Amino acid sequence: MTQKLRVQTGDARPAVLLVNLGTPEAPTATAVRRYLREFLSDPRVVEMPRVLWLPILHGVILPLRARRSAQAYEKIWDHERGCSPLLEITRRQATALQERLGAAARVDFAMRYGNPALGERLRALMEEGHERIVVLPLYPQYSGATVASVTDALGEALRGMRHQPAVRVGAPYYDHPAYISALRASIEEHLARLEWEPEVILASYHGVPKRFVEKGDPYARHCAVTTDLLRAATGLSAERMPMSFQSRLGKAEWLKPYTDETIAALAERGVRRLAVITPAFAADCLETLEEIAIGGAETFRAHGGEKFTLVPCLNDSPAGVDMLEALARRELAGWMGEET
């Protein structure tokens, strides 16, 4: 009896999977605790022996932090859509990128922590027939706590698949011309809508423990390169565009200067009009909308400042989508035909 060859069916186009950090499913202590448990259990995020860290996490951190974080999420939650801004914005980014790439590639999105889960979306794309997949972490600057964690999750998902796709992981884009151009455009467009001009534009990046960098993590260097390129693109000096690091956790020393202390110091020094841009974030989220737009503004005014504004993240702005398209086409080269 002659066997018939099995013909592949489904969508054979390459696919692009955008991956952001993640979000709880609701602004409640229960949902936030579930999200934080997954996030803070990642050994890439907290580099402590599990036997020491997990009792602290479950016995101290989660009971205290989940409720506080839920209150913070409540301030920014998109109740109309029933999701966090991060989830909705990432969905819009994927939709906009799909429109740019058209029929040449399939675009989807996932979260490193929470839902939609990276492994689930990877398997779903394979089931549709996509055997060439670009995983594009939405972290401009590389860190083991972000990009490497995505790669870890990707490896875990692949380990459970008998039929694996060909996978490319997008390179960090901290110095990509389209990224710098988009950041410059976001500043110009936002400031054009203001009735006042900031004296200083602070570039605030998510922090990491200092020991990460001492062990070889290139994150601090990448942030410095981004800031230097953005200063050159905007014509601002280091004094007019200083840089700092936010969102520290615990008592260990993190990258300095700290954003909250920098905001207070600028106001005490006599700066009365301040703008903050957050180049490490691809989409507005808790760390930008609550920590900076609300908390940063309160700190600035409490120390004598008067006018404060947050420059929105690139989100799904035209310049932001231009950048995503440039990154996607770079990683899809050879998989989309002659147009790449």
Q: Which CATH number belongs to the domain containing residue 275 in this structure?
A: 3.40.50.1400
- Identity of the amino acid at 36: L
3 occurs within a structural domain:
no
d(CA 172, CA 298): 33
Residues 267 and 244 in one domain: yes
Tell me the β-bridge partners of 311: 277
50 occurs within a structural domain:
yes
DSSP 149-205: HHHHHHHHHHHT-SSPPEEEEPPP-TT-HHHHHHHHHHHHHHHHT-SS--SEEEEEE
152 occurs within a structural domain:
yes
Residues 146 and 210 in one domain: no
d(CA 218, CA 184): 23
Q: Are 207 and 292 in contact (CB under 8 A)?
A: no
Residues 20 and 145 in one domain: yes
Residues 212 and 306 in one domain: yes
Residues 143 and 167 in one domain: yes
d(CA 149, CA 112): 8
For 52, 145, 240, the CA distances from 184, given in Å and listed in that order, are 44, 27, 14
Residues 44 and 126 in one domain: yes
97 occurs within a structural domain:
yes
187 occurs within a structural domain:
yes
Q: Which residues of 52-81 are buried (b: 16+ CB within 10 A; e: fewer)?
A: ebeeebeeebbeebbeebbebbeebbeeee
Q: Which domain holds residue 19?
A: 15-173+319-332
Residues 58 and 120 in one domain: yes
Q: What Rg, from alpha-carbon coordinates, does the chain have?
A: 21
Look up residue 231 and give its two tokens.
């200063």
Composition of the chain by helix, strand, coil, percent to 5: 50, 15, 35
Residues 21 and 162 in one domain: yes
Residues 157 and 277 in one domain: no
Residues 119 and 242 in one domain: no
pTM given for the model: 0.94
253 occurs within a structural domain:
yes
339 occurs within a structural domain:
no
Residues 304 and 212 in one domain: yes
d(CA 237, CA 178): 21
Total domains present in the chain: 2
Residues 100 and 44 in one domain: yes
In tens, the pLDDT along 124-178 reads 999 999 999 999 999 999 999 999 999 999 999 999 999 999 999 999 999 999 9
216 occurs within a structural domain:
yes
- Please give the average pLDDT of every successive group of 10 residues along the chain, which has 340 residues: 48 95 98 98 96 95 96 97 98 98 98 98 97 98 98 97 97 98 98 98 98 98 98 98 95 96 98 98 98 98 98 98 98 76
Q: State residue 3's pLDDT score.
A: 43
Q: State residue 10's pLDDT score.
A: 76
Look up residue 68 and give its two tokens.
């506080």
